[in-house]
Structure 1
Amino acid sequence: MSDIDVVEVRQALRLVAKDVEIPRDLAARVRHGGRRRVRRRRVAAIGGVLAVTLAGVAGITNLAERPAPAPETLGDQLMSQPTRGDLAGDKQYLREVLSTYVETRDQTPLAGLGVTEHPVGPAHVAWAGNTPAGPAAAVVQRTKVPSKSARGGPGSGQIGGDTGVLIKFIGTAPSGRPEAVGTDYFGHHNYKGNSLAFLVGRDRSVLVVLDVGAALDFSTRRTYTTTTISRIDWAPLRFADGAAVLTVSPQRGRYSVAVREHNSGDYVGVGNLTDPAEQPGDRGLDWSTPPNDKSPVAQPARFPVNGADPSLADCWHECAGADTYRKLLGSGAPPGLEPQANLAVAQDWIAYGKTPSGSLFIACDLRVGSDPTRSMIVIEGKSGQPTTLYGPPVERSSPLPVLIELPDQEGWLVARKNARLEYRVGAHDWVDAGKNASLLSAEATAVRVDGTEVGLR
């Protein structure tokens, strides 16, 4: 299994698994589902080699004189440093934090990878400090990932045999006691974690980012235009005594915050997002077809538009014609999104067909992280990259929740499941536009949805 496959397994487990074995074909099924794949990358090493000297070990002579190798991962770096933060000397709090760590070590979907099963050596509090939301901490511990022969489960040895560092993030519960808020794992080979940030507080409005010697920036929101999804509010983090601590807008249930290396570098993981329950998805339009005898999972409703082959809707994962549309959709995935954004595409509906000029297009629902669901359309580029357009947040109660104007006077894409559609130009008669979805003439001035008129101008 390649590094990319392992990352796909990790993301899939974060979203849908808890305490499960890894199926051999999970990576293939993730690809088949059309999710955008991203490679999780570590923060680059900063400041040169970190020289550490091993303490003497009973029964081994001269070991204290041998320098240890440079840390291979950020987890190694955190393990090798003394506890930092203004609560580093509070022995009672550190005991409570370590007790919480032991009690909750297995309470993470990452347990399905086996990374919590075999701790090696004692746990270490890397940072402990006061925040506006109460005390918080980060605990690290070396763990052994069991080999296939040790666990015996199918596919369980694909990552196995390595020693890495588990990290658990601790906040303060409403009761005042420490609570675990997220987990990650720093592996040495195939499996590379990079969560150095976490959110605490009842509404998750305090961001803590551990200091590993790298210059980092943070952002609190994504900005949407008709052609881009980006972040334009990046600001530098200021570290003190092992961490940056700052108040942000409440993140509970939305998680729009992000951290990255300074000046467009790699993203740093946010530890809370290892828990799928922390990323509730917007319901969208609920147009998908429920599971049935043919499909064990829900399938998006599929609408052929402007003369497209309707039979493709019934063989979306098998037919060659549908494969062309699927590839087009993949090429229009939003670029540059943070790895933990939890991109959801084509969950509720898909409309496909040709524009009046003959270009293929595919449209669907789009959700980034826990942001509101929007519409997206990807139009084939005859001599270059496809054109991708993003609509405003959809309104479930709107008579016409999907309304996208195509560029170059190619018309209007409209959609509402099971609705009869009509349009007209100016004061002319209404023209039948079919059912579910339609590509209307660029001259259209109004559309009627089951008798309800919606203006286009």
Structure 2
Amino acid sequence: MDTELLSRSLRDAASTVDVRSGFPERVLLGARRRRARRRALVVGATAVLTMVVGVGSAALWRHPSPAAVATDLRLDQPTRGDLAGDQEFLATAVRAWEEGLPRSWNRARGVFDDRRGKPHVYWAGTTPAGRAAVVLQRAFLHPHGDLPPADTDREVTLTGLVGVDPADGAVKLLGDGFPSHGDTLTGFQFGPNDRTVLVPDPGTPLSVSANPRFEGDSSVRDWHPMRALDGVQVAELPGESRADTIAVESSPAGGGRDHRTRVPLVRARQYLGLAPSGVRLDPGLGWRTGVTWVGGDPRPRPEDLLNHFQEALWRARAYDPYAREHGVPRWLVATRVDGRPVLVGELVSDSQPAQVYVVSGEGAAERTTRVGPADPAAELPVQVPLPDGQGWIVARPGARISYFTEERRWVLLGRDAALVPDGRPRVDVEIVPPDGGSRIIPLQR
């Protein structure tokens, strides 16, 4: 194209046009108005879009839709385990899941009211307790009176264990669970005496422990690694293991102080109604006398003494941190020796026999000593020698307690409990129980 010729032609054409006065100014003004209108439209549209997005985001935050929840990737994976190719067993596992849910202890909580998609057998394999399968299914938890608000208005993955019931050999749903209270895993105990433990593999090593034991004044546990089986971790506990004291932990070195590292376990025998579902506390002496003060005035507040006793036991690691329940001390004998508090009481737990403990001193001088279990059938069940020859604390509810002095006479100390002065080489104590009669108990270090 000849650009010079085009330019000259345009100039010649423009020279013949008669432009009215003020035309250029009006053109510029119109252009400014059009530009302003375009800007206003853009700003308004942006504001409306921002408001819609903001309101929509707020609505989604308050009421998450199922589509907004990330799907559990395990639901789309092929079945794992050495029985993954056994189609008959996989069908049996799904059928056991469907038939078992109406009898689940979670049914009344509305957990299964809005199940979504089909059940998926995540794992099927051979365990020490026979064939077993882990079944997963999506569900949306709606607000329900039996569920914490933090657990509702969200989609979760239900987890169930299908396996052999030792009672009749049938394949049944042995337990189910769902993420609750921050837990992301559910483990299962099943097989004879619930001694086989299975947990869907979280991708990190897990450890299992059976019965806690005492080491000196503290409660300790021995931990053993669980065995990985292509998607799950499994362990079989020894025959002497108590099913209700088994624990699974991802970080046993933490000493049980972080609840987030524990794996909650569902016991099959409890789930099937073959074992009590409640917590069984060792009754110990069975006393319920509260705080008995034998130290003269001034008397501390009973609640302060109980708090001191419990906190001292925690500091001394007397409590098994994996126990499901610890009883508040039901009885406590307290006194003061050389200005220092001395407390004798009983630690009651569901994971080990009740133990009598002595807490003496406070602060840096505090000392916690385990005496051991007391004999409820003994004439004088509590006979605790105090250190440095400071005497004895003795107790038997309802009994009048006296001691025989070096001047060879009996001195009444009180009822229920007493601080008995030390004697060399021994001191004799007389107790008169509520049913009458008199017993002489020699106290000898």
| TM-score, normalising length: structure 2 | 0.66
Matched, 1:284 2:273: no
| Equivalent position SS for 1:365 | strand
List per-residue Cα deviations over 1:116-167 (Å, max 9, x = no partner).
44323333333322223222233333332222xxx4x498645421222232
How far, CA to CA, are the matches of 1:211 and 1:401 in structure 2? 48
SS at match of 2:192: coil
Residues 211 and 306 (structure 1), Cα distance of their counterparts in 2 relative to 1, 3 Å cut: same
The alignment yields a C-alpha RMSD, in angstroms, of 3.9
| CA pair 159-261 structure 1, distance change in 2 beyond 3 A | closer
The answer to whether the 8 A contact 1:376-1:390 is kept is yes
1:104 and 2:97 matched: no
Greater share of residues in helix: 2
Amino acid at match of 2:217: T
CA deviations over 1:16-52 (Å, ceiling 9, x no partner): xxxxxxxxxxxxxxxxxxxxxxxxxxxxxxxxxxxxx
Match among 350, 373, 385 for residue 369 of structure 1: 350
Q: Verify the 8 A CA contact 1:279 1:369 in the aligned structure 2.
A: no
Task: Indicate the residue corresponding to 1:138 in structure 2.
Answer: 134
- Deviation of 1:109 after TM superposition, in Å, equals 5.2
Superposed CA offset, 1:173-205 (max 9, x none):
121112444433214xxx222544322223223
Question: CA 1:78/1:357 → structure 2, altered by over 3 Å: closer, same or farther?
Answer: farther
Quote how far apart the aligned CAs of 1:226 are.
4.5
Letter in 1 for 2:208: F
The structure-2 alpha-carbon separation of the partners of 1:416 and 1:261, relative to structure 1 and needing over 3 Å to count, comes to: same
Residue in structure 1 matched with residue 412 of structure 2 by the alignment: 432
Q: Which of 194, 212, 217 pairs up with 2:202?
A: 212
Please give the per-residue CA displacement for 1:260-319, whole angstroms capped at 9, x wherever unaligned. Answer: 22551532222229869356514514635xxxxxxxxxxx33141314689x9xxxxxxx
Is 1:162 aligned with 2:157?
Answer: no
2:304 match: secondary structure: helix
Helix, strand or coil: the match of 2:130?
coil
2:344–2:359 CA contact under 8 A, matched in 1? yes
CA distance in 1, matches of 2:410, 2:238: 48
Cα distance, 1:351 vs structure 2? 1.4
Q: Aligned in 2, Cα 1:117/1:406: closer, same or farther, shift over 3 Å?
A: farther
Partner residue in 2 for 1:415? 395
2:164 aligned residue: 172
Cα shift readout 1:87-112 (whole Å, capped 9, x = no counterpart)? 22223333333333333336555556
Q: Secondary structure at 1:135's aligned position in 2?
A: strand
Q: Is the 8 A contact 1:218 1:260 kept in 2?
A: yes
Number of residue pairs matched? Answer: 357
8 Å contact from structure 2 (residues 295, 336) kept in 1: no
User: Matches of residues 225-236 of structure 1 in structure 2 within 5 Å?
Assistant: 225-231=215-221, 233-236=222-225
* Structure 1 contact 423–440 (Cα < 8 Å) conserved: yes
Aligned with 2:373 (options 393, 416, 425): 393
Structure 1 residue 249 and structure 2 residue 238: aligned? yes
The 1-side partners of 2:282 and 2:140 are apart by: 39
Equivalents in 2 of 1:427, 1:240: separation in Å?
Answer: 75
1:353 alignment partner, one of 328, 334, 346 = 334
8 Å CA contact 2:285, 2:374 repeated in 1: no
- 1-side partners of 2:285 and 2:406: how far apart? 33
Using the alignment, how far apart are the partners of 1:424 and 1:81 within structure 2? 79
- Cα pair distance change 1:354/1:207, threshold 3 Å: same
Equivalent position amino acid for 1:161 in 2: D
| Partner residue in 1 for 2:265 | 270
Higher Cα Rg, which structure: 2
The alpha-carbon distance between structure 1 residues 392 and 442, as it changes in their structure 2 partners (threshold 3 A), is same
Change (3 A) 1:321 1:263: closer
Match of 1:92 among 88, 91, 94: 88
Q: Is the 8 A contact 1:141 1:167 kept in 2?
A: yes
Q: Secondary structure at the match of 1:89?
A: coil
* Partner amino acid, structure 2, of 1:86: D
**Residue 211 of structure 2 aligns to a residue in which SS?**
coil
Distance 1:92 1:407 in 2: 69
Within the alignment, does 1:183 sit opposite 2:176 as a pair? yes
Q: Percent identity?
A: 25
What is the aligned partner in structure 2 of residue 341 from structure 1?
Answer: 323
Q: Letter of the 1:167 partner, please give it.
A: T
Shift of 1:429: 5.4
Query: Which residue in the other structure is 1:57 paired with?
Result: none
> Does structure 2 conserve the Cα–Cα contact (< 8 Å) formed by 1:254 and 1:369?
no
Counterpart of 1:215 in structure 2: which amino acid? P
Q: Unaligned 5+ residue runs, structure 1?
A: 1-67, 289-299, 313-319
Structure 2 segments unaligned to the other structure (5+ residues): 1-67, 255-260, 433-438
